[in-house]
């Protein structure tokens, strides 16, 4: 199984929403919110395509001229997890953030999502705060994480991030991959 990344286009909305609703069952974004995100000039969304099917997506918000950026969301289809595709999406967004001049990259992750937290820590994010009971209706804390990009260099363009699935997933890795809320969307304008 191979996968490749490309920038998301408006026609990807339906496929992204299928993954969104499956990955974030209690707090999925609406199609309208996602459509606005895909169209925003202040960010970059990528889709992961495997065997011609959109099997993952991830989004960055990094307005021009700002030195802060946010990983807005990331998800890989359940059947495609554990193959390194989530890391590929995250690394591609980090590269994009570096190209946009982001120095501090932030994200929020549910306290009950050890899988995503492990991924973020392994790519240089560290906890810088907590938002108690941030995720509703589930009443789960948000962990705020930050990565310092000042010494990082962009390695590849999205199209250069391709990969072949490794011999994973390992059935012994049975950590529950609970749904995770992604970043708050601003009600209007930029964050």
Ligand X SMILES: CC(C)(COP(=O)(O)OP(=O)(O)OC[C@H]1O[C@@H](n2cnc3c(N)ncnc32)[C@H](O)[C@@H]1OP(=O)(O)O)[C@@H](O)C(=O)NCCC(=O)NCCS
Name the residues that contact ligand X, by CB under 6 A. Answer: 23, 74-76, 81-87, 109, 113, 115-116, 118-119, 122, 173, 175, 177, 180, 182
Question: Is the CB of residue 76 less than 8 Å from the CB of residue 67?
Answer: no
User: Could you tell me the smallest distance in angstroms from the CB atom of residue 65 to ligand X?
Assistant: 26
User: Could you tell me the smallest distance in angstroms from the CB atom of residue 179 to ligand X?
Assistant: 6
Is the Cα dihedral 89, 95, 101, 105 positive or negative?
A: positive
- Could you tell me which residues are beta bridge partners of residue 60? 44, 71
Q: Considering beta carbons, is residue 64 or 170 the nearer one to ligand X?
A: 170
Q: Considering beta carbons, is residue 39 or 121 the nearer one to ligand X?
A: 121
Tokens read off for 118: 């492990």
Known catalytic membership, residue 120: yes
CA distance 25 to 123: 26
Known catalytic membership, residue 190: no
User: Could you tell me the smallest distance in angstroms from the CB atom of residue 48 to ligand X?
Assistant: 9
CA distance 54 to 85: 12
Active-site entry in 96, 108, 134, 135: 108
Catalytic residues: 108, 120
């Amino acid at each position: 199984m191979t996968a490749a990344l490309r920038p998301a286009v408006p026609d990807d909305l339906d496929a992204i929403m299928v993954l969104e609703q499956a990955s974030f069952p209690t707090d999925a974004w609406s199609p309208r919110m996602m459509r606005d995100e895909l169209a925003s000039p202040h960010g970059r969304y990528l889709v992961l395509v495997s065997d011609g099917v959109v099997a993952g997506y991830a989004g960055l918000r990094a307005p021009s001229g700002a030195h802060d950026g946010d990983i807005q969301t990331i998800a890989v289809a359940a059947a495609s997890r554990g193959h390194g595709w989530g890391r590929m999406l995250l690394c591609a967004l980090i590269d994009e953030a570096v190209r946009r001049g982001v120095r501090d990259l932030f994200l929020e992750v549910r306290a009950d999502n050890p899988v995503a937290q492990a991924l973020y820590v392994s790519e240089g994010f560290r906890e810088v705060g907590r938002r108690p009971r941030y995720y509703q209706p589930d009443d789960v804390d948000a962990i705020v994480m930050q990565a310092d990009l000042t010494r990082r260099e962009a390695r590849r363009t999205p199209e250069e991030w391709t990969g072949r699935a490794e011999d994973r997933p390992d059935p012994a890795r049975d950590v529950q991959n609970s749904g995770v809320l992604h970043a708050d969307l601003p009600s209007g304008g930029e964050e």
